[in-house]
Amino acid sequence: MIIGHEKIIYFLQKSVDNDKLSHAYLFCGPEHLGKTIIAENFLFKILCEQKNKPDAFLEKNTMGKCGKCIHCQQLEKNIHPDVYFINKEENKKNITIEQIRILQEKLIKHSFYGSYKIILINQADALSLEAANYLLKSLGEPNPKTIFILIAENIKSLPKTIISRMQILKFLPVATEEIVDYFEKQFNLKTEQALELAKISINKPGLAITFFQNKNLLDKHKKQIQEFIDFPQKNLNEKFQLIEKILPTKNGFLKNVKILQNILSQLDLIIRDLILIKNSLNTFIIHSFLENKLEKLVQKYSENQLIQILKAIKKSKEYLLVNANPKLVFENLILKI
Ligand SMILES: [Zn+2]
């Protein structure tokens, strides 16, 4: 089941129906929006034998698949011989050139079913520069029966030469109404509950579903937000203790960068809520379950101060992109809040 992204789905369906497939696609956008699920559906759409079957999308938001042919069955089990998945190996920093080399060897061979060979690269932004350049060879000399699908959160780390050879599909957060509609229809949720899920997941359908299925995780998330809201009340010593708790040194650099990136996005939303409250636009706030606390907190700041904090958060995000030490970045920011 896919939520939202109608234009992208329509585009992909039409490119199969009209036999106008690109040799390389780049699905890009933040996590939890549905890039992977759409890419997987796209595989079915390309390979399923019943090509002319009416698309189920209009009714069920899935791309057409019969579910019975050999392709559908093998895709379902993740054992289709003409589909290759490349993922970053655990504990490795990058997708390595070795992984791409092994892939190239497989691509030289004929397709098992005489149809398309499809390569799905997850976290393509983690391709090492060497691996990306090696991959570029395949993109530069496209084989008409080979299709690359790259999934990436941040395309800045991909060489421009790769991006320019791909059909780019940008994923944006899904409209609140679409997420609300999904939960109302699929799970009989009341509008109020569905709206809370849409808001707290910042219009990311994947996250909304995770929160819906895992109440513990949702509670933990809410608790963390609560902690941030209490943050300005704490003294300097308490603040620094909390930083160590959130970003323990033993985590290592990359893990702490990822954690801090999420925290910065969360802080950003809290400050935006405060600005909305400052302007009496409470109905639009994301963290409505904490409205009372936010109402109190907002009195500590002028609107201009809040805007300055937003700028400082943005700056912190930029520092992380150029490999600054996450703990220092966070400490620096905290002093300004
Ligand atoms: Zn099929």
**Ranges of each domain in the chain:** 6-170, 176-213, 215-334
Residue 53 has what pLDDT? 57
Which residue, chain included where needed, has tokens 């899904």? 174
Ligand 1 center to residue 82 CA distance, Å? 15
Residue 58 has what pLDDT? 42
Phi-psi region of 29 (alpha: psi -120 to 50; beta: other; left: phi over 0): left
Residue 308 has what pLDDT? 95
Ligand 1 center to residue 72 CA distance, Å? 4
Which residue, chain included where needed, has tokens 């009989």? 188
Q: Do 36 and 43 contact (CB within 8 A), yes or no?
A: no
Ligand 1 center to residue 71 CA distance, Å? 6
Q: Over its length of 337 residues, how does the chain's per-residue pLDDT go in tens digits?
A: 677 888 898 899 889 888 899 999 999 998 899 999 999 999 998 998 876 555 544 444 566 678 889 999 999 999 999 999 999 988 788 999 999 999 988 888 888 888 899 999 999 999 998 999 999 888 877 787 899 999 999 888 788 888 998 999 999 989 999 999 999 999 999 999 999 999 899 889 999 999 999 999 999 999 988 888 888 888 889 888 888 888 988 888 888 988 898 889 889 999 999 999 999 999 889 898 899 999 999 999 999 999 999 999 999 999 988 888 999 999 999 888 8
Give backbone dihedrals phi and psi of 99, rounded to 5 degrees, phi first.
-60, -40
Q: Which of 105, 50, 98, 94 is nearest to 72 (CA)?
A: 50
Cα dist. 194→4, 16, 288 in Å? 15, 34, 13
Assign domain 215-334 one CATH number from 3.30.160, 1.10.8, 2.60.60, 1.20.272.
1.20.272
Ligand 1 center to residue 69 CA distance, Å? 4
Ligand 1 center to residue 75 CA distance, Å? 9
Ligand 1 center to residue 47 CA distance, Å? 7
Ligand 1 center to residue 37 CA distance, Å? 17
Ligand 1 center to residue 50 CA distance, Å? 6
Residue 47 has what pLDDT? 92
Ligand 1 center to residue 274 CA distance, Å? 50
Ligand 1 center to residue 80 CA distance, Å? 12
Instruction: Provide CATH code, domain 6-170.
Output: 3.40.50.300
Ligand 1 center to residue 16 CA distance, Å? 14
Residue 4 has what pLDDT? 80
Ligand 1 center to residue 113 CA distance, Å? 14
Residue 336 has what pLDDT? 83
